[in-house]
């Protein structure tokens, strides 16, 4: 009588049937590597989600400002958009003469005024600069580079509301 694991081959000799072989247990180091990969993927996903959340909040805040405050934003940009050449030339100028005391500097180029330099005074704040330095600034800005006092009047703001209303 033949056993359960034996069978007869065509030649008549008994053979053993193949048994299922169990996979060897994976080592603890393979488990720890897999766990670290999974944890790294979770951390990366969390960081990406936080970054996306922050970016979306910024987009929504900026979009909300554009929708709710467009006229104020446009008016503020118009107020500090630079002066026209005739407005810049109309600002007072003088020739610098050192009268003792501490030397004065141009806040734009950071060099000291020398005797004979052409300087320009800004009327609202009385800050002074080299003419060529401040003129270049005023063509793109309508404010003092030192104290940010606006040189344009606020009638530009009112004219915007008249146009829109």
pLDDT in tens, 73-94: 666 666 667 888 898 888 889 9
E-only strand ranges, the chain:
6-8, 14-16, 93-95, 118-121, 128-130
According to the model, what pLDDT value does residue 3 have?
A: 46
Q: Where are the domains of the chain?
A: 75-164
Q: Which residues contact 143 (CB under 8 A, 6 or more apart)?
A: 80, 149, 150, 151
pLDDT for position 30: 80
Task: Give the mean model confidence (pLDDT) for residues 29-36.
Answer: 86
pLDDT tens-digit series, residues 117-152: 999 988 888 899 999 999 998 888 888 889 988 887
Quick one: pLDDT band at residue 163, thresholds 50, 70, 90?
very low
Distance from C-alpha of 148 to C-alpha of 74, rounded to nearest angstrom: 18
The mean of the pLDDT values for the chain is 77
Place of tokens 């049937």: 17
- Per the DSSP assignment, residues forming a β-bridge with 92 are none
Greater confidence, 24 or 93?
Answer: 93
Q: Cα–Cα distance between 159 and 165 in angstroms, integer?
A: 10
Contact 155, 78 (CB under 8 A): no
CATH among 1.10.10.10, 3.10.580.10, 3.40.190.10, 3.30.40.10 for 75-164: 3.30.40.10
Mean pLDDT of 96-115: 86
């Amino acid at each position: 009588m033949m056993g359960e694991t034996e069978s007869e081959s065509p030649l008549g000799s008994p053979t053993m049937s193949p048994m299922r072989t169990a996979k060897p247990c994976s080592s603890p180091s393979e488990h720890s590597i897999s766990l670290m990969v999974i944890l790294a993927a979770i951390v990366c996903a969390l960081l990406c989600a936080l970054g996306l959340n922050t970016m979306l909040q910024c987009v929504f805040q900026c979009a909300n400002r554009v929708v709710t405050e467009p006229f104020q934003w446009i008016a503020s940009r118009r107020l500090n958009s630079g002066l026209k050449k005739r407005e810049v030339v109309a600002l007072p100028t003088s020739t610098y003469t050192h009268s003792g005391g501490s030397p004065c500097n141009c806040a734009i180029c950071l060099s000291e005024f020398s005797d004979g330099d052409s300087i320009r005074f800004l009327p609202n704040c009385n800050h002074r600069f080299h003419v060529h330095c401040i003129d270049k600034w005023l063509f793109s800005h309508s404010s003092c580079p030192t104290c940010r006092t606006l040189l344009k009047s606020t009638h530009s703001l009112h004219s915007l509301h008249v146009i829109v209303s």
